[in-house]
Amino acid sequence: MDAKTGERKPARKPTFRPEVQGLRALAVLMVVTYHVWLGRVSGGVDIFLLISAFLLTLSFVRKVEAGASLNLLRHWLHLFKRLLPAAVVVILGVLAGTWLVLPQGRWPVILDQAWAALLYRQNWLLADTAVDYYAQQHAAASPLQHFWSLSIQGQVFILWPLVFAASAVVWRLLRHRYNASYRAVVAAAFAGVLVASLAFSIDQTATNQAYAYFDTRTRLWEFALGSLLALALPYLKPGKLLRVVLGWAGLVAMVSCGLLLTVDRAFPGFVALWPTLAAAAIIVAGQSGSRFGVDRLLGWKPLVSLGDNSYALYLWHWPVLVLALAATGVEAPTLIQGAAIIAASVVLAVLTTRFVEKPLREWRWPQVRTWRTAVVVVACCALLAGPVAVLQTSLTAEEAATAAQPRELAPGAALLTPGNAGTPAPQGRIIPGPTALDNDWAGIHQACTGANATGDPVLEGCRQALPEGEPTKRIVVLGDSHAQQYLAALAPIAETRGWELVTLLMPACRFGAESETRTAECNAYNRASAAYVLEHRPDAVFTVATLTHEEAPFETEVPAYLEGIQPIADAGIEIVGIRDNPRFTINMPECVQRHRADAPACNPPLNESLVEPSPLESYRGKVDGLHLMDLSDFICAGGICPAVVGNVYVYKDDNHLSRTYVESMIPMFEERLLSATGWN
């Protein structure tokens, strides 16, 4: 009986395993504490995946062996009726927090992630972002990114019942002829999944870890391991002493995983066997029957109670952490701040479980008919879809209004020309708007073919822009995203003048000779780029000749720059070297959206952004055919480097010029280019 209400408490199922519920609680505590205080990944999520499959398999095997019907549609509907309400409440809370705390420039990404979380495809969205350098530049920690693991679980919760059902069909065909057991058939299926997925996971983690981390296929083996554990458990009967040893060894291995391994960069390959096998050892240890067994700890009532709230705690802890840090401007919480974040997350989790998750789980009306369950699932989706759609529509409308304003209201860099010096910016909206700024990148997109084709797989990203008729000049752009951003000016000029452009660009890889400061991939790309230039003999190459930094020294020479361009100059090819733009410790558009365009924080001093004299001066006279360009006076002026000039965002993040601003520099860029090179 409940002492407060006098009502009878629902009894635990006879198959309830308190040590597994305690294990679930310990896993979520690992996830939360590692996120809050260590800023690391713990391996706790991998344990969650294993436990999910373990419990799901126990349930389905009991049904099949009892001869019960596998109504998959009904199972899926009841499953998502349990999962969706709490998730929808949290996502709605995140949207409210986003509106209150986060700058508007981050709203579009979070709204996209809200849809992805609702549709259980967040992991694929993050996988694409993880390998997209240009997305990473503006993808600060999202309060919804932790839904990646829940998305994988949701996908497996759809896939696994199909495996159970297919195995049941095979079993019924084989049981009379071969006396096969259902457990043997389904075990064979999951063994195949484990071997295939683990092999794929090891390969992908070694070659493309950023994508593999979120890839469902690289995680299936963790679920398969949990399923095989559930199938084998009745046959695993270790003695009391072995249970004690297994339990504590598993617990120590489980807790130490995130401390000893860089989980976020090594998982989910074979290294993920560490936490999953540790959890498996604890489950095999089970009820040890010893006062010294780890089950005495895991079966502790407060820990079991926390396990009952573990789903909601996982849902809440990350958005509370992200929004709290964003609201306070703190980069990493102190011990007290972290404790407050965890306490708030626990309170929200308990409230969500008690007043949302539990009442809907126990609500009798949907359980009577399948269509009623479907109504609840659809209602949950609609409850979230409405606000998300309204917010996206309002952002789109605001963007349309911004794009429709007369262009003379946003002169951009033209306001820094000598003739306009001191002229105030007209009254107008800052462009581009938040939804457009996210994709405000310059580039040319036609793949290199014909005379510009390259057979080198390293240079597969080669792109070209061809003029009509015979080109008057052929230029190759070399380097990284800081060279790419100037295509917003260089490409239109080339089109007007009949120049041919080819781009050989690798993110975060400034062009120069081989250097220990560059990665092996970058050195290989620069060697291949130089070889391409020497083979195709363009008239000129365009490069960024200095390198800016967040902190002092704020600007330096590019490592081995002169050594890199010397062979090109010796071949009679001209080189244009432009000065780099400043790099900051803050996202400049977000600074404006949080404060205002004239806030001091959004207008850092020039001497904290660039150095004088410019490192370009050290290059003068050292390489024949090297032409140097400096456009810093159209980026920084009056001793400051503003985030907004002439109602145009100068930057799209903390270090890349916006395409819109570079476009406003076209007349100045063309004049400086022609003046430096002497081209007609």
Q: How high is the pLDDT of residue 503?
A: 97
Helical spans, DSSP H, in 179-239: 182-212, 220-232
**What was the pLDDT predicted at 134?**
59
In the chain, the N- to C-terminal Cα span, in Å, equals 92
Distance, in Å, from the CA atom of 123 to the CA atom of 212, rounded to the nearest integer, reads 10
Paired strand residues for 651: 657
3-class state of residue 411 by DSSP? coil
What confidence tier does 514 reach under pLDDT thresholds 50, 70, 90? very high
Crossing angle of the two packed helices 18-33 and 310-328, in degrees rounded to 10: 10
Residue with tokens 């752009």: 477
Helix (H, G, I), strand (E, B) or coil at 500: strand
pLDDT digits (tens, 9 = 90+) for 565-590: 999 999 999 999 999 999 999 999 99
Residue 101 has pLDDT above 50, yes or no: yes
In the predicted model, what is the mean pLDDT of residues 503-523?
95
Mean local confidence (pLDDT), 83-109: 95
Beta bridge partners of 130: none
Q: Are 558 and 525 in contact (CB under 8 A)?
A: no
Could you give the CA distance from residue 496 to residue 23 in angstroms, rounded to a whole number? 67
Three-state DSSP class for 487?
Answer: helix
Contact predicate 533/459, CB 8 Å? no
CA-wise closest residue to 525 among 512, 540, 543, 537: 512
Residues in contact with 602: Cβ distance below 8 Å, sequence separation at least 6, in sequence order: 586, 588, 591, 592, 595, 596, 642, 643, 644
pLDDT at 636: 94
User: For residues 110-146, b (16+ Cβ closer than 10 Å) or e, as one string?
Assistant: bbbbbbbbbebbbbbbbbebbeeebbebbbbebbbbb
Is the predicted pLDDT of residue 178 greater than 60, yes or no?
A: yes
Copy the structure tokens of residue 238.
Answer: 């270790």
- CA distances to 352, 496, 574, 621 from 627, rounded to whole Å, are 64, 21, 8, 10
Element (H, E) at 625: none
321, HSE (Cβ side, Cα atoms, 13 Å)? 28
What global pTM score does this model have?
0.89
Question: Any idea which residue has 């690992």 for tokens?
Answer: 30
Q: Specify the 3-state DSSP secondary structure of 538.
A: coil
What average pLDDT does the structure give for the chain? Answer: 92
Percent over 70 (pLDDT), the chain: 96
The encoded tokens of residue 587 equal 């996202």
Query: Average pLDDT for residues 226-236, to the nearest whole number?
Result: 95
Does the pLDDT of residue 79 top 90, yes or no?
Answer: yes
Judge contact between 541 and 499, C-beta under 8 A: no
Per DSSP (E only), the strands in 25-117 are none
The closest of 583, 579, 582 to 618, measured between CA atoms, is: 579
